[in-house]
Amino acid sequence: MHTFDSFQLKNPLINAIADLGFEQPTPIQTQAYPVIMSGRDVVGISQTGTGKTFAYMLPLLQELKYSNQVNPRILVLVPTRELVVQVVEQIEVFAKYISVRVLGVYGESNIRVQKEALAEGQDIIVATPGRLYDLIVNRALQPKELGKLVIDEVDVMLDLGFRVQLTNLFELLPNKRQNIMFSATMTEEVDVLIDEYFTMPDKIAVAVSGTPLDNIQQEAYAVKNFLTKIRLLNHILVDKNTYHKVLVFISNKKLADRLFGAVEDHFGSHVCIIHSNKSQNYRLRSVEEFDQGSKRILIATDVIARGLDLDKVSHVINFDVPNYPENYMHRIGRTGRAEEKGHSILFYTEKEEPLKEAIESLMDYQIPLLDIPEEIEVTNELIPEERPKVAESNYNRNTKVRLVKIEDEEKLEKNKKVNLGGSYKRKLAMKHKKPRTRGDKNQQGKRKRG
């Protein structure tokens, strides 16, 4: 069994680990530490909840020496502003007894304030790609001394369309640097990125997506429709002791708002929501209130909640089935983190059953089914998104018989007439076979007089 003692850490880090109550490193931390310390490029494939942030920050902080230089030496890229805030907070906890300057930068925040903070000098920058690019182009951030680049949740970045921004950033960063990449899934796009910008990276794979986490109890309900799902969810959430910190996933923003309204009617101020249409401050406040326990229920879309390290989530409820099986693994990874016990519940309709089967095929595991409680009233009413769409046909379109009156016939006949011009032009045409102009007459008169 590995312990932190085997890492031969400096005392400030040992003290911080003791404060956190960590007794032994997770598998990804054990495997990543010596490779990152060696200076080689690293690609880590690991599910959420396995301690990825600490896996890359522990060796980087161990190696980081005190300096009062202005330009940063470590750059951490993450896909969302929520993750920027979270990673900065985690680094500050890890570096509690070390003199390290950490700054988070992201869009929708005052760029002037960020420029001033950079001018004061920073050691570690945690950033979203867009804002970081703006700061470098505006010369507010000088990347010439960056020796370590960490790209966390890279698969999410590529899903969000950050490929161009990432490649533009790579062109601005020093060629001589250590690249550290962490992802929950290995896609073709991730492979291309690695081939183009990494130098013979060491690959580490722990709890790869598709492997069900043994410490998460999974269950499922077959539910008729959206409104019945709401009734089932509200029924479940009544048990405050069991469901004391619940993360509810739903596929899109519009449905998330609809669900939030229905749950808020029952549980009032105990419910909060995050999706990309909410303001930055609202989202950060919702995450903070849920994480600290002042809100018991958080409704979230997939992209926004991806990578968030939410402490001690008792249950993840999948209100719908994600289109991609890997996203199910990311969802349930929000509970049962750091090898604690977790609980996941899946709601699915008949239409969503093939998606559920795809998840089970990926995991090679059949999710146990539960019976819907008898007190739940099943409704046949469908929301607009569930109703079948009637496609309009072009057949027999505009084929109605038109009744034409006698006066209309006269008008139609009149409209068929063609404007032939004045009678003078017609007479000339008859006489000379082609119209003659005044210029022609003048030219003809000159020839006669000549």
Say what percent of the chain tops pLDDT 90.
54
418: how many CB neighbours lie within 10 A of its CB? 5
Convert the pLDDT of each residue in 252-300 to its tens digit: 899 999 999 999 999 999 999 998 788 878 888 998 999 999 999 999 9
Host H or E run for residue 124: strand 124-127
Contact 126, 103 (CB under 8 A): yes
What tens digit of pLDDT does each residue of 330-359 get? 888 888 876 678 999 999 999 999 999 999
Residues whose CB is less than 8 angstroms from the CB of residue 230 and which lie 6 or more positions away in sequence, other chains included: 259, 262, 263
Asked whether the beta carbons of 327 and 185 are under 8 A apart, the reply is no
> Confidence class of residue 210 from pLDDT cuts 50, 70 and 90?
low
pTM: 0.70
Dihedral pair phi/psi, residue 147, rounded to 5°: -105, -15
Res 93 pLDDT > 80: yes
Tens of pLDDT, residue by residue over 172-209, are 999 899 999 988 777 788 888 888 888 889 999 886 56
Are the CB atoms for 98 and 61 separated by under 8 Å? Answer: yes
Tell me: pLDDT of 234 over 80: yes
Residue owning tokens 């009678």: 423
- What's the pLDDT at 399? 47
For residue 404, the model assigns a pLDDT of: 46
- Per-residue pLDDT tens over the stretch 294-342: 999 999 988 776 667 788 899 999 999 998 887 888 888 888 876 678 9
Please state, for a pLDDT cut of 70, what percent of the chain lies above it: 83
Count Cβ atoms within 10 A of the Cβ of residue 116 and give its class: 0-12 exposed, 13-18 middle, 19 or more buried: exposed
Q: What three-state secondary structure class fits 67?
A: coil
Which domains does the chain carry? 4-206 (3.40.50.300), 216-386 (3.40.50.300)
| Mean predicted confidence (pLDDT) in 59-74 | 94
Q: Where would I find the H helices in 3-69?
A: 11-20, 27-38, 52-63
Q: What is the pLDDT of residues 351-410, one digit of tens each?
A: 999 999 999 998 889 999 999 999 999 999 999 999 887 655 555 555 444 444 545 555
User: How far is it, in rounded angstroms, from Cα 431 to Cα 409?
Assistant: 36
Give the CA distances from residue 112 to residues 72, 87, 118, 258, in Å, rounded to whole numbers and listed in that order: 18, 22, 10, 37
* 329 closest CA partner among 300, 307, 308, 359: 359
pLDDT of residue 193: 86
pLDDT, tens digit, 9 for 90 and up, residues 122-161: 999 999 999 999 999 999 999 999 999 999 988 888 877 8
Q: Are 41 and 180 in contact (CB under 8 A)?
A: yes
Token readout for 258 is 């609809």
Mean pLDDT in residue range 43-66: 88
**Half-sphere exposure of residue 43, counting CA atoms within 13 Å on the CB side?**
20
More confident residue, 167 or 356: 356
| Radius of gyration (C-alpha) of the chain in whole angstroms | 33
Distance CA 347, CA 223 (A): 6
Identify the pLDDT of residue 428: 55
- What local confidence, expressed as pLDDT, does residue 339 receive? 67
Dist. CA 304–CA 178, nearest whole Å: 28
Using the predicted structure, report yes or no on whether residue 32 has a pLDDT greater than 90: yes
Mean pLDDT of 53-67: 94
Q: Which residue has the tokens 């958080």?
A: 298
Check residue 186 and give its pLDDT: 73
What's the pLDDT band for 419 if we cut at 50, 70, 90? Answer: low
Identify the pLDDT of residue 413: 56
CB atoms within 10 A of CB 166: 17
